Amino acid sequence: MKIIRTIGAGIAAVVLGVGLLAPATSAAAENGYERGPDPTNSSIEASRGPYAVSTKSISRLAARGFGGGTIHYPTSAADGTFGVVAVSPGYTASESTIRWLGPRLASFGFVVITFDTNSRYDQPRARGTQLLAAIDQAIGDSTVGSRIDPSRQAVVGHSMGGGGTLEAAKTRPAIEAAVGLTPWNTDKTWPEVQAAALQIGAQNDSVAPPRSHAIPFYGSLTNAERRAYLELRGASHFAPNTSNTTIATYTLAWLKRYVDDDARYEQFLTPGPSTGLGSAVSDYRIQ
């Protein structure tokens, strides 16, 4: 975990003195920021986790730097603060196509903002900027800001939004984790990214074929804290647009492991899912 994190434009760097100076016997020092009971295969595949979830709408007029959206957050604040995750839709798509991930991730202990982009035709770089703007607005929100640990940030996106996650992580080294869902970008090399980065491709994707997008991205992430590639068997580019257990399961495990530093989730990443016949995953690589 980085000692100093730059939160973004207009927000000062945060020094993580509390966690790093705490005694070695503290829960944070030993187990990261654990939230929720010990995970099992069935629990992480469930459509809802242990937390009840509330929502807050952000209108287009109220949004600063993106097109409006929805903040999904654990209703109870009894367990302290949570990491914050922004989720971008893909080219020509609206928030509605990725909104399903919001309450699902939030119910496992994250504050999640799903949003509309300023234009449905925004390219990956613009989507990366908007992912960061959405995170910053959630951190500063009067309702949910107090529930967020601003040092624990992550980005998720579909298609050009997936390419945007790499743009966001390149721009802001404070990002802990980036997850691209059938990601697309004209830039194929990302050695600048330090965040733990998971690329989820689709075997039958004709819009962003893995061999020319997700797999080269994965291969180029040589300075990432960790990198992985997962391929959805028989799936199309639009698999992330509806509720998908495999996408949710491994996105959740990745965020838990690298935003919450929760080692309990390592069991789902190493050695990872089966890729044999009958598995929903056709390829899996991790370094």
Q: Looking at the annotation, which residues are catalytic?
A: 159, 205, 237
Peptide bond into 271 cis (omega under 30): yes
List the strands of the sheet with 110-115, edge to edge. Answer: 53-58, 69-74, 110-115, 82-88, 148-158, 175-181, 196-202, 227-232, 281-286
- Helices 124-139 and 160-171: crossing angle in degrees, nearest 10, is 60
- Pair 48, 103: CB distance under 8 Å: yes
**Strands 148-158, 196-202: pairing kind:** unpaired
How far apart are the C-alpha atoms of 212 and 85, rounded to whole Å?
27
Phi, psi of 198 (to 5 degrees): -110, 125
DSSP for residue 38: P
Reduce the DSSP state of residue 146 to 3 states and report it. Answer: helix
CB of 197 closer than 8 Å to CB of 229: no
Beta carbons of 66 and 138 less than 8 angstroms apart: no
